[in-house]
Structure 1
Amino acid sequence: MSPRPAIAAVLDGLADMHVHSGPSPFPRRFDHVEAARDGARIGMRAMVAKSHHHNTQMDVLAMTDRLAEVEAQVFGGIALNSTVGGLNVHAVRMTLRMGGKVVWFPTISSGRHLDCHPEDGAFPTTTVPLTLERIDIVDGEGALKPEAIEILDEIKEQQAVLNGGHMYPEYIKTLFQEAHERGLKRMVVSHPDFVIGADPALCRELIELGAFIEHEVGMYDPEGTQKWDPKQLLTWIETLGPEHTVLASDFGQQANPKPVDAWLRVGEALLDLGLPEKDLRRMVRDNPAYLLNLDA
């Protein structure tokens, strides 16, 4: 799919903070370099490679020679699921100090995700048999575990991004309240209406704490597996404001289109629905650039 000049110009310089390229135990359609190379079709400035299972910053470093030929900057991060030891500050410290940019609190190991997908990590079917353990960030009294607080301090020190993962909304709120008190400036809630179940009222509370709300254009792509109505996305944007919203693809799965094609289709759909170009640019370029500290 070749970009039309109008939408390509609007998307130029975007930073995709949620790309599921490989390697991964889940089936992926391309690796991080191939994803970044394909991003050149829309002038992608940066992307973050996400895995539910491992620290992707080491992948990125291993691909340095190939990435040198790609225009976009590629960053890794770490999701605090059982395959990395859960709330493992040592793994977080290594990831961020090796150049990683994002720490996702538990995704497929969160209680909320397991409620929605009790198939124990087969989301979708893994290419190899794996085990999964539930990871909670609070103790029996509902207080944040000390290791979660230590991780917050490491994120702050490295000026990285705190992402609430797939946790229960009340856990995300507890985490972000502590993060706000400790002075963290870069916080993100991914797909509040998928798995997590955070309504706009709660999202406003999280925004007050300094969070951005991330919506995934892949879920609104008519060629993808979800096929949600873009009008729903526009309603979220109008309700919370483009200044508090980040758009990302959440694509790279073998069963879905390439992220760029989702960006083109959904971006154009939003413009057709009346979203101003400046608002789309803010959500795909300016807000992610701030979160990733690209202009430091």
Structure 2
Amino acid sequence: MSSRPALAAVLDGLVDLHVHSGPSPFPRRFDHVEAAADGARIGMRAMVAKSHHHNTQMDVLAMKGRLEGVQARVFGGIALNSTVGGLNAHAVRMCLRMGGKVVWFPTISSGRHIDCHPEDGAFPTTTVPLTLERIDIVDGDGRLKPAALEILDEIKDQRAVLNGGHMYPEYIRTLFQEAHERGLERMVVSHPDFVIGADLDLCRELIGLGAFIEHEVGMYDPEGTQKWDPKHLLAWIERLGPEHVVLASDFGQKSNPKPVDAWLRVSEALLDLGLPEKDLRRVVRDNPAYLLNLDD
């Protein structure tokens, strides 16, 4: 645990866009309410519950009574994998119009994910048998499928967040180029150097289209399953600029520590490496709050 007295104050108002709380077919450490309540230790303002398998906004609504009195606001979203019908505009419409905030294009159903991590320890065996199909967003000529275009329009209309999921870098570029042309203002690329394989130049190109680059503190937690060097994370922030970066936990898995503990350890490491407090607050508080429209 952190020994820096002011660290919780630096993190106060934090917004976590990527929490893998339950319910889920993957083993989870706790549910959405418990995750949000634990966020009080660092003054967490809001979180987004992510599932690779279902629309989490319905979970959030079902937990409304238990969320009363919890400081952090909790939002849901939908990942466009085979368990929700893939590029299912009807499912997206319901999620967002019921209050969901994020649409992740295919994650575990993406070709890139299936190619790279068919049996990765970070994606454990489900607790019940499930089927999985590959979902592609382009046709044989490389053009976005009509359903993808319909989904982009719904995201724009609802002022939600478009996330590139775990897709091939070139698919994310194609999707974000179209999103930019259609006037979408809130786009995110998660963990570009894990699964996806998006290099700095591509990230800068996507930033030029209006995207934020999300890095996951869970990958840099020495007590997590990944244990990457925080110096690598600092280099990403410095090269892209904190104004274009968001940090998120990507934690909640049963095999990993609680997100708050990862936030404390990795944030302290970044500050010790020389990241200014104002830049840390920018990437953990200001940028994600903008993406979720929390101040409108």
TM-score scaled to structure 2, two decimals?
0.98
2:6 is paired with a residue whose SS is helix
Q: Distance in 2 between matches of 1:10 and 1:199?
A: 30
Where does residue 66 of structure 2 map in the other structure? 66
Q: Is the 8 A contact 2:122 2:225 kept in 1?
A: no
Pair 266,154 (structure 1): closer, same or farther in 2 beyond 3 Å = same
What per-residue deviation string (whole Å, max 9, x for no partner) do you get for residues 50-93 of structure 1?
A: 00000000000000000012010000000000000000000000
**Distance across 2 between alignment mates of 1:256 and 1:128:** 20
Write the distance in 1 (CA, Å) between the matches of 2:214 and 2:3: 24
Q: Is the contact made by 1:121 and 1:132 (CA closer than 8 Å) also made in structure 2? A: no
1:149 paired with 2:149, answer yes
Is contact 1:120-1:131 (8 Å) kept?
no
How far off its partner does 1:120 sit?
Answer: 9.8
- 1:254 aligns to what? 254
Verify: 1:140 aligned to 2:133, yes or no: no
Structure 1 segment 49-128 matched on structure 2, within 5 A: 49-119=49-119, 123-128=123-128
Partner Cα separation in structure 1 for residue 20 and residue 145 of structure 2:
29
Contact (CA 8 Å) 2:189, 2:213: kept in 1 or not? Answer: yes
Q: Which residue of 2 aligns with 1:131?
A: 131
Residue 174 of structure 2 corresponds to: 174
Q: Go from structure 1 to structure 2 and tell me whether the alpha carbon gap of 1:179 and 1:237 turns closer, same or farther (over 3 Å shift).
A: same
1:115 counterpart SS class: helix
Q: How does 1:176-195 map to 2 (within 5 A)?
A: 176-195=176-195
Q: Is contact 2:2–2:268 with CA below 8 Å preserved after alignment?
A: no
Distance in 1 separating the partners of 2:271 and 2:122: 36
* Amino acid corresponding to residue 39 of structure 2 in structure 1: G
In 1: Cα distance, 2:135 partner to 2:162 partner: 17
Partner residue of 1:219?
219
- The equivalent of 2:5 in structure 1 is 5
Aligned residues: 296
1:46 maps onto 2:46 in alignment: yes
What's the CA shift for 1:119?
Answer: 3.9
Q: Secondary structure at the match of 1:212?
A: strand
Pair 87,3 (structure 1): closer, same or farther in 2 beyond 3 Å:
farther
Matched letter for residue 249 of structure 2: S
Unpaired runs of 5+ residues, structure 1, are none
| Ranges in structure 2 where 5+ consecutive residues have no aligned partner | none
The amino acid across from 2:91 in the alignment is A
**Cα shift at 1:279:** 0.2
Question: Residue 234 of structure 1 corresponds to which residue in structure 2?
Answer: 234
TM-score by length of 1: 0.98
Q: Is contact 2:4–2:268 with CA below 8 Å preserved after alignment?
A: no
Percent identity of equivalent pairs? 89
How far off its partner does 1:6 sit? 1.4
CA distance in 2, matches of 1:85, 1:135: 9
Shift of 1:270: 0.1
TM-fit CA distance, 1:264: 0.2
Shift of residue 123, structure 1, vs aligned partner: 1.9
**Distance between the aligned counterparts of 2:279 and 2:13, measured in 1?**
14
4+ residue segments displaced more than 3 Å? 1-4, 119-122
**Cα deviation code 1:166-194 (max 9, x no counterpart):** 00000000000000000000000000000
